Structure 1
Amino acid sequence: MDQNPLVELGLPIALFVIMIGIGLTLTPRDFAREGKDPRGALVGSLGQIVVMPALGFAVAAALSLPPAIAVGLVIIAACPGGTTSNLVAYLARSNVALSIVLTVIASLVTIITLPVAANLALRWQPTASDVPVEVPVLRTIGLLLAIVLLPVLIGMAIRARWPQRAVALERAVSLFGGLVLAALIVAIAVSLGGEVVTMLADAGPATVLLNIVGIGVGMAMLWLVGLPFGSRLACGIELGIKNATLGILIAVNVIGSEEMAVPSAVYGLLMYVTAVAVVFYGRRRQARVVRSTAPRSG
């Protein structure tokens, strides 16, 4: 299977721009506010970094996925949330500050944990590639530093210097991120040709299950530590809404397998269905709270 030059060259550039969008949403106050009660950040990060990859392995094993799809599912499970998770948290009227903090923490820690998870998956499924493949940890760390850490810092610097311009830029970057993801899905589907129907059939149920379980686990973890509904919902969103472009980047640009990118592409598409449901649920729940606390006339 030939590599798609548009995906191979354009994806890192597009992801760099998208990660600037995350930085545009951040100020030092966001970290200070969540730092006063770090339970949400600590438990949510544990869920994102440890629990979600473990769920990826569990779902892949339970459904007996083909090797390449199994490895790809672990990769998307190990990916952090992206700008989409922050947008969904806002629309669902949950704790947006916590969502942003979890996104940034996971994005930075992912520099180490994502290549580790990918390597574990490749050792678990050695037939996933035509030739023996191991994710080069140092190369991947360097790639993620350049495409995750640097643009986030650039975005924060822009917001600090030009806060009003940052708001407009962040909206444009969010739209750009959605368009990039759609383009990537189409590009990979075209490259896979006749294989795409089988791949989608193999990856679809697994990605939906991982997505729904991730949302539920995220909410349950923060419920166990006694945090309010807004924080619980934000954590669920963060674990369920993934940075699918990063998963595609690792599969295509690092491992060199478009088959392994299919779960990330499918996840990136289907997660919007559950995102709409979560937004509807969060807004209805918040509306009920407002009605119940509103003073009654007469």
Structure 2
Amino acid sequence: MIDNPLIETGLPIALMIIMAGMGLTLTVADFRRVFTFPRAMLVGTAAQIALIPLLAFGLVELLGPSPAIAVGLVIIAACPGGTTSNVFTFLAGGNVALSIVLTVIASLVTILTIPLFANIALDLYANTDADAPVRLPLVDTVVQLAVIVVIPVALGLFVRARFEEVAAWGERFVSVFGLVVLGAIIAAIVFQTRDQMWTLLSQAGPSAVALNVGGITLGFLSGYLGGISRRDALTIAIEVGIKNGTIGLMVTLSLLNDAEMAVPSAVYGVLMFAFGGLLAVYGRRTRGRDEAGA
């Protein structure tokens, strides 16, 4: 278990700063462009909100990890994308406006779906023999996530609309801050679970890799089957594959108070940078070929 005031208090505050940074990247025009042609937005939202959590349940049944790892895997799958997905979309030459809108929509909707999927996973995998079942309180979780996600994003959007120079500076600061926070929390988890770390990694590593690769593949397939452009399909693949690991860590560490359940979010948070880099290279190369053939 985690009993660390820095994590219990500092992690939510850090996440609020990160979500405010996401708001600093938004303009009303971003939303207008995407809603004019909503097919890609609808396909990407369905893949993020419903399909990848269902994939996580399937992987748990297939790979059979420990109960804590199983619950943690479902929780990270249920998390939205973050500002990192927007950065990788830019590097890959994807549709940045679509990426931002998908991130914001998923961040708002998953306020409701994270506790739903988490409690299903707890009932299926962690509470089977428990005298006192572990539950993620629905109302408290929704309220806490709303305060941490919705209000900071709205504040960031307001600042961007009124004070563009401040927003440009803040956006750069928050991007670095988010990486530092993620690294610090991962280090804390490694220290907290150091006696079990190799066992947990052996269980969480294959599951996290499978979820990352499966999510990216799911994103591409959803885009192609939805009849959208290759650029938008790539954007959806990045958005589905790159998760906001900080939300997963907050849910598992601050709300569920379980370091073992946090391991999939920590492992995924590291792996996604490697896969995001590969997607960026792929996007650049395919865009170059498309432009050459045009």
In structure 2, the partner of 1:296 is: none
TM-score, length basis structure 2: 0.97
Q: Does 2:208 match 1:197?
A: no
The one-letter code matched in structure 1 to 2:195 is G
RMSD (Å) for aligned C-alpha atoms: 1.3
In structure 1, the partner of 2:187 is: 186
Where does the alignment leave 5 or more consecutive residues of structure 2 unmatched? none
The separation in 2 between residues aligned to 1:118 and 1:245, in whole angstroms, is: 16
Q: Note the C-alpha offset of 1:6.
A: 1.9
Q: Does 2:138 match 1:137?
A: yes
TM-score, length basis structure 1: 0.96
The separation in 2 between residues aligned to 1:9 and 1:189, in whole angstroms, is: 19
- SS across alignment from 1:125: helix
The one-letter code matched in structure 1 to 2:213 is I
The aligned runs of 1:86-125 (5 Å cut-off) are 86-125=86-125
1:16-50 per-residue CA deviation (whole Å, 9 max, x = no partner) reads: 00001110111111111111111111111111111
Corresponding pairs, count: 293
Verify the 8 A CA contact 1:4 1:187 in the aligned structure 2. Answer: no
Q: Note the C-alpha offset of 1:130.
A: 8.7
The separation in 1 between residues aligned to 2:149 and 2:254, in whole angstroms, is: 15
1:239-279 per-residue CA deviation (whole Å, 9 max, x = no partner) reads: 00000000011111111111101100100011111011000
Q: Does 2:230 match 1:229?
A: yes
1:220-257 per-residue CA deviation (whole Å, 9 max, x = no partner) reads: 11111221111000000000000000001111111111
Where does the alignment leave 5 or more consecutive residues of structure 1 unmatched? 294-298
In structure 2, the partner of 1:238 is: 239
The aligned runs of 1:228-267 (5 Å cut-off) are 228-267=229-268
Verify the 8 A CA contact 1:40 1:222 in the aligned structure 2. Answer: yes
The separation in 2 between residues aligned to 1:274 and 1:208, in whole angstroms, is: 9
1:126-149 per-residue CA deviation (whole Å, 9 max, x = no partner) reads: 348794211100000010011000
- SS across alignment from 1:193: coil
Verify the 8 A CA contact 1:4 1:191 in the aligned structure 2. Answer: no
The one-letter code matched in structure 1 to 2:117 is A
Verify the 8 A CA contact 1:111 1:141 in the aligned structure 2. Answer: yes
Q: Does 2:162 match 1:161?
A: yes
